[in-house]
């Protein structure tokens, strides 16, 4: 049986897979970036939980990361479209089907990355804060 953390991360990945960009989880950057862009979900850090007693609950603000990458002549517009689509899919269901208390993305800080013999990449890490509670730190 998957843990609460894994269930939430899998649900977030499933939302990203529905976007036109290719969505991977925990993979290395491939040699080629698809025309619609590339998203790589990183599990991130659950952080130190707040604890409440009676009943015992651990409240996390887990910081996952989405690496967003586009390439090509119109990379600025493609990057903007890709980031907006991530925001739209998260805003459509802030609880990931009731698995989280709240999901919220932070603003990306894009950078242009030159590639020898190819078009420049535009990339950013988009932090996503997942607020959830569990009865066990390992569950």
Which domains are assigned to the chain? Answer: 4-126 (3.30.2000)
Predicted confidence (pLDDT) per residue in 2-16, tens digit:
999 999 999 999 999
pLDDT > 90: percent of the chain? 87
Is a pLDDT exceeding 90 seen at residue 69?
Answer: yes
Nearest-10 Cα torsion for 3, 127, 76, 110: -140
Q: For residue 58, give the 3-state DSSP assignment.
A: strand
Q: With CA atoms as reference, report the closest residue to 111 among 63, 66, 65, 79.
A: 79
Instruction: For residue 55, say if its preceding peptide bond is cis, omega within 30 degrees of 0.
Output: yes
User: On the CB side of 31, how many CA atoms lie within 13 Å of its CA?
Assistant: 1
Report the C-alpha gap between 34 and 99 in whole angstroms.
31
| Cα-to-chain-centroid distance, residue 69 | 13
Mean pLDDT value of segment 68-90: 95
First to last CA, the chain: 9
Tens-digit pLDDT profile for residues 81-113: 999 999 999 999 999 999 999 999 999 999 998
């Amino acid at each position: 049986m998957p843990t609460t953390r894994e269930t939430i991360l899998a649900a977030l990945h499933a939302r990203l897979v529905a976007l036109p960009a290719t969505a991977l989880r925990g993979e290395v950057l491939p040699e080629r970036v698809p025309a619609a862009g590339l998203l790589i979900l990183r599990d991130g850090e659950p952080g130190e939980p707040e604890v409440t007693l009676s009943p015992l609950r651990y409240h996390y603000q887990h910081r996952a990361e989405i690496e967003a990458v586009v390439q090509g002549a119109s990379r600025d517009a493609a990057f903007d479209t890709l980031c907006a689509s991530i925001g739209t899919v998260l805003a459509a269901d802030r609880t990931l089907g009731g698995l989280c208390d709240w999901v919220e993305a932070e603003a990306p800080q894009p950078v242009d990355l030159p590639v020898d013999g190819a078009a420049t990449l535009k990339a950013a890490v988009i932090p996503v804060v997942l607020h959830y509670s569990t009865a066990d730190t390992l569950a």
